């Protein structure tokens, strides 16, 4: 039964439960068996919640995803009574457990998802690889020597390998989209304010943090967005409500759209790797064949370095604040010995930033967002690579690497196509539309105007049907 269920998407599994063809307990037991079999190779799941999952399956609520196994990322959104370590040795050694669900986790639970475990992530989610010193590296199921990217790399590896059909992710600079690209998945960063960061936060890392899920199908992506979207009490702002459920957009005709295409790195950098250029070019041709008007565009506003400079200021300040917050919660000051060198370096820089400089950085990011919005007003969708290169080897971006400044520069280059849309708050999705000659997935990013996830989902569904990526299987799979 386990292998028969492994690559059914969450929507199909929920439908089987509704029809009485399988019970929630059978789904959960099958997922547990897959995790036990695959995780020793991948190190995707760092906290198992098997006993609680089996008990919850026996009393699963009658939501749209009743009984469907799910993995939570071990960062930002926590579940009641479960470990929450954010990739930190400090929290691991303190055996830190959160007492309550965050708002998004409560919505996922009410929808019927069963939490089977928590996934690996880099310390404090600050890296675009998943190699925390606290728990060791997560391996990409397409090639065990390569990174699944980060920071939602554990979730991505779990979904790509077939452990579960969907898993939680957060995205502050590409952390849903780049793991989706490296692992051959659908990864949508919604519009800013589409889902709540409460009750712990109104904003996190300033305005750049978003959360959603990693999935294998567009319909799962849309239906889970319906579950988590909407304001919660005390949120500072929320995205405009959709005119109808996002699930209704899958298969809907988007009409003939104006599509801009770019493969040159933002900020005036070099062109992307030939594999990534080929992926974007093939996608552009498919979109044109589907009736869209497609053209190559530079969009000079995206090259303004001011936005990224503001992002770095906010990020550094946020890392310093994270260390202070966790030290206060645990009751012990966090020292240099408690933190990976890369994060200590960023926090040290953050402590040198004045309040005036922080406010200036926010103003700079807001000005950048307005310029980008104006520059993109002439078209509906922007198509870029998700990453400027194929999945990269493990070890290059470790938080204790000898040259930390080189690591920071490398991470900035890898995030060239993703960070700008955390700054602007626009919805962006990575789609697994291409595989290179080495059999590695190459994601392509589609970006829409603020609040237009509906348009992204319509076009994503068109490409899913045209490409047929759901039949692909990585080297390590259930």
Does residue 225 contact residue 219 with C-beta atoms inside 8 Å?
A: no
* Buried-state track 132-153, b at ≥16 Cβ within 10 A, e below 16: bbbbebbbbbbbeebbbbbbbb
3-state helix, strand, coil in the chain (%, to 5): 45, 15, 40
* Buried-state track 36-51, b at ≥16 Cβ within 10 A, e below 16: eebbeebbbbbbebee
Residue 352 pLDDT > 90: yes
Residue 268's pLDDT is what? 84
Q: What is the DSSP string of 184-212?
A: T-EEEE--TTSB--TTT-S-STTTT-EEE
For residues 116-145, average pLDDT:
98
Predicted structure pTM score: 0.98
For residues 68-77, average pLDDT:
98
Mean pLDDT of the chain: 97
pLDDT, tens digit, 9 for 90 and up, residues 414-451 = 999 999 999 999 999 999 999 999 999 999 999 999 99
Residue 4's pLDDT is what? 83
For residues 96-116, average pLDDT:
98
Residue 2 pLDDT > 90: no
Does residue 38 contact residue 161 with C-beta atoms inside 8 Å?
A: yes
| DSSP-assigned beta bridge partners for residue 389 | none
Look-up of token digits 């936060």: 201
Does residue 281 contact residue 445 with C-beta atoms inside 8 Å?
A: no
Residue 325 pLDDT > 80: yes
Residue 1's pLDDT is what? 44
For residues 28-52, average pLDDT:
98
178 closest CA partner among 156, 163, 207: 156
131 closest CA partner among 322, 338, 395: 395
Look-up of token digits 């922080």: 358
* Catalytic center residues: 73, 151, 175
In the numeric block, which tokens belong to residue 99?
A: 């007492």
Strands (E), 131-254: 166-171, 186-189, 210-215
- In angstroms, the CA 243 to CA 28 distance is 34
């Amino acid at each position: 039964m386990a292998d028969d269920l492994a690559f059914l998407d969450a929507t199909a599994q929920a439908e089987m439960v509704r029809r009485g063809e399988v019970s929630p307990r059978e789904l959960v037991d099958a997922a547990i068996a897959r995790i036990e079999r695959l995780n020793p190779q991948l190190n995707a799941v760092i906290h198992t919640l098997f006993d609680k999952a089996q008990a919850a399956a026996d009393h699963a609520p009658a939501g749209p995803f009743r009984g469907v196994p799910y993995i939570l990322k071990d960062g930002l959104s926590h579940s009641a009574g479960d470990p929450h370590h954010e990739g930190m040795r400090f929290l691991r050694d303190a055996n830190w457990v959160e007492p309550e669900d965050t708002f998004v986790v409560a919505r996922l639970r009410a929808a019927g998802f069963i939490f089977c475990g928590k996934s690996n992530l880099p310390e404090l989610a600050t890296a675009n690889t998943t190699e925390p010193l606290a728990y060791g590296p997560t391996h990409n199921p397409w090639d065990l020597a390569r990174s699944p990217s980060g920071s939602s790399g554990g979730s991505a590896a779990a979904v790509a390998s077939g452990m579960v059909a969907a898993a939680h992710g957060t995205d502050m600079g590409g952390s849903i989209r780049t793991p989706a690209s490296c692992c051959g998945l659908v990864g949508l960063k919604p519009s800013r304010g589409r889902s709540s960061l409460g009750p712990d936060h109104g904003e996190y890392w300033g305005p750049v943090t978003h959360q959603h899920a990693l999935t294998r199908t567009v319909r799962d992506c849309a239906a889970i967005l319906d579950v988590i979207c909407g304001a919660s009490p005390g949120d500072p702002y929320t995205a405009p409500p959709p005119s109808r459920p996002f699930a209704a957009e899958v298969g809907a005709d988007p009409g003939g759209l104006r599509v801009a295409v770019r493969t040159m790195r933002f900020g005036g950098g070099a062109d992307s790797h030939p594999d990534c250029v080929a992926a974007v070019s093939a996608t552009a041709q498919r979109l044109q064949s589907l009736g869209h008007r497609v053209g190559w565009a530079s969009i000079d506003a995206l090259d303004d370095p001011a936005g990224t400079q503001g992002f770095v200021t906010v990020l550094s300040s946020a890392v310093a604040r994270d260390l202070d917050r966790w030290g206060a919660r645990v009751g012990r000051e966090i020292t240099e010995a408690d933190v990976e060198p890369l994060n200590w370096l960023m926090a040290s820089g953050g402590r040198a930033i004045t309040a005036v400089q922080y406010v200036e950085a926010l103003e700079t990011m807001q000005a950048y967002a307005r310029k980008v919005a104006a520059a993109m007003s002439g078209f509906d969708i922007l198509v870029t690579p998700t990453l400027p290169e194929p999945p990269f080897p493990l070890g290059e971006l470790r938080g204790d690497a000898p040259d930390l400044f080189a690591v920071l520069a490398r991470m900035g280059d890898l995030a060239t196509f993703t960070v700008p849309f955390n700054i602007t708050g626009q919805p962006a999705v990575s789609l697994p539309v291409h595989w290179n000659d080495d059999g590695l997935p190459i994601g392509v990013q589609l970006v829409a105007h603020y609040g237009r996830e509906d348009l992204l989902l319509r076009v994503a569904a068109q490409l899913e049907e045209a490409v047929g990526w759901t039949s692909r299987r990585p080297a390590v799979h259930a």
